[in-house]
Amino acid sequence: MAFYFEEPSRTFNEYLLVPGYSSPECIPSKVSLRTPLTRFRNGEEPAICLNIPLVSAIMQSVSDNGMAIALATEGGLSFIYGSQTIEDQSLMVGRVKDYKAGFVTSDANLSPDMTLADVLALKERYGHSTMPVTHDGSAHGRLLGIVTSRDYRVSRMELTERVAGFMTPFEKLTVARQPTSLKVANDLIWDHKLNSIPFVDEQDHLLYLVFRKDYDSHKSNPLEMLDSQKRYMVGAGINTRDYSERVPALVKAGADVLCIDSSEGFSAWQEQTLHWVRERYGDTVKIGAGNVVDEEGFRFLAEAGADFIKVGIGGGSICITREQKGIGRGQATALIEVAKARHTYYKETGVYIPICSDGGIVYDHHMTLALAMGADFLMLGRYFARFDESPTNKVNINGNYMKEYWGEGSARARNWQRYDLGGEKTDLTFEEGVDSYVPYAGALKDNMDLTLAKIRSTMCNCGALTISELQEKAKLTVVSSTSIVEGGAHDVLLKDKTPYVSNTIR
C-alpha cells in the first residue's frame, strides 16, 4: 500500500520563532548574513558565498541582466532565465560581467569608417554609451578616439555620418598607460573630472576601459558580489534538454554558477545533466539542482554531484502544480526534512551541501523562519517581480500601479523544458503556472534594506549574529489558527494607513 507521512505538511505561516537571550553584542549592525552558495568539505571554504541570503528566481518575469546587476550590487545573486535562446541568455550574462569591473574589456567597438547608425545599433545591443574607436574596430586595436552620447545628436545628424567626423579624437583624450595600476587610473579620472578613461599600451593599442561609476559603486555598496576580477557575479538557469550546447556557451560568457531549472528534481534527467557537467568540467563549473521535498530527493541529487539543492514544489504564488497534479508538500515541512537530511549527509561524508528554499514566502518574517529551519539562502520570484529592476511592464490597474508577473509554466512563458518528463513531446500539455500582476513597490534597494533590517533584528531577538548560529539557537513553535489571528492587529478600529512599504510581500 502507499506510504503515508504521519505529520501534515505545514507552511511558514504555521510557525513562530521563540525569542532567545540577546547579549549586549547582539545588535543588528553586527549581524552577518554571509552564507555558502556551493558545496564544500569540512575545514574548507566554499568556492562561492553570498553576502546576503537572497537570489532571484529563474523566471522570464524576474531575472534578466538588469535584475542581476541590481541584486549583485546589494550582495545577492540572480539566475538569468533559461527559457530563451542560448545566444540571448549568454548575451545577458555577458552584460552583467561587463557592467562593472576594475578593467573592462570593451565589447562595443567602432572603426572610423562606421556610421552613426552603427553606433546606435551597438548601443541598442550592448547598452553602452561609451565606445572606443580603434583603427580596425577591435577591442585591442590602436586607439583613435572615443564616442560617447555627448558626441552626437540623432535629431541633428544624418545616420550615414561617419564616426571619424564626430568622435573625440585620441589627442584630446586623457589616457592611462601600461604599466600602471587601477588606483592610478582612478586618480586620473578624479583629477580630470572624467566618467571613464582608456587604458593603452606603449603603442597606443587599447587594453581596457576604467569607469568612475565602478569606483563610486564599490564605495557605496560594500556587500557587492564580485568575482576575482572585480566583476559582478551572476548565475544562469539551464534545462535537461540542450545542456550540452547551453552550458559551454554560458561558461564562455562568464556565468559564475548554473542551476537546473525544473519543477521536480528527483529524476534521471537531472542526474544525467549533472554527470555530463562533472565529466567535462570537473568541479570548476558550479551547478545547483532541484527541486525536491524530502530526504530521498536530497540524497539523490547530493550523490549526483549538485553544488546546492533547491527545496520546494508547488509553493510559489504563481504555481498551480499542486492544483493541477496533486504533487508537492508544504514548504516548511519540506525544508525541515531536507535540512535534517543535509545535516546527516554532512556528518557521514564531511561534505556540506547548501540548500535553497524556493517558494512559500508571503511575509518578510517568513524569510527568517526559512533560514532558521535550515535554508542557507532563499530563491524569490514575486518579491523581486515588484521592483523597478524586474524586466516586466509597470501598468495602471484601476488606479493602482502593478507589475506583470507570470509563471514559467503559464501559457505566456511556455517553458516546457522546466516540466519535461522525457519523450519526444516538446510543448506544454497543460498549464502549471498563471499570468498575474503584483503591486508595484519601487526600487529594489529601498525594499531590500527594510527586509534585511527585519531579518537582522529578528536574528538578534534569537541571540544570533550569523545564519549558522541562528540555525543552532532557533526555537520554533507551531501556532494555532486563532494565534495567527492574535498575532495581527485585532479588536481595534484601524486608522487609514499612510502608504509606506508593507510587511507583506504581495
DSSP string across 68-122: HHHHHHHT-EEEE--SS-HHHHHHHHHHHHHHS-SSBPPSS-B-TT-BHHHHHHH
Of the residues 39, 329, 342, 418, only one is catalytic, namely 418
* Residue 293 in grid coordinates: 521535498
C-alpha span between 247 and 265 (Å, rounded): 18
> What is the sign of the dihedral through the CA atoms of 293, 297, 301 and 307?
positive
- Is residue 34 part of the annotated active site? The answer reads no
**DSSP assigned state of 415:** -
- Is residue 319 part of the annotated active site? The answer reads yes
| HSE value, Cβ hemisphere, 13 Å, CA-based, for 365 | 15
- Angle at Cα 126 formed by Cα 125 and Cα 127, nearest 5°? 105
- Angle at Cα 360 formed by Cα 68 and Cα 310, nearest 5°? 60
Q: How far is CA 15 from the centre of its chain?
A: 27
Residue 135: exposure state from Cβ atoms within 10 A (0-12, 13-18, ≥19): middle
Of the residues 10, 39, 231, 319, only one is catalytic, namely 319
Asked if residue 440 lies in contact with residue 259, where contact means CB atoms within 8 angstroms, the answer is: no
Cα R_g (the chain), whole angstroms: 25
C-alpha span between 320 and 437 (Å, rounded): 16
* Enzyme catalytic residues: 319, 418
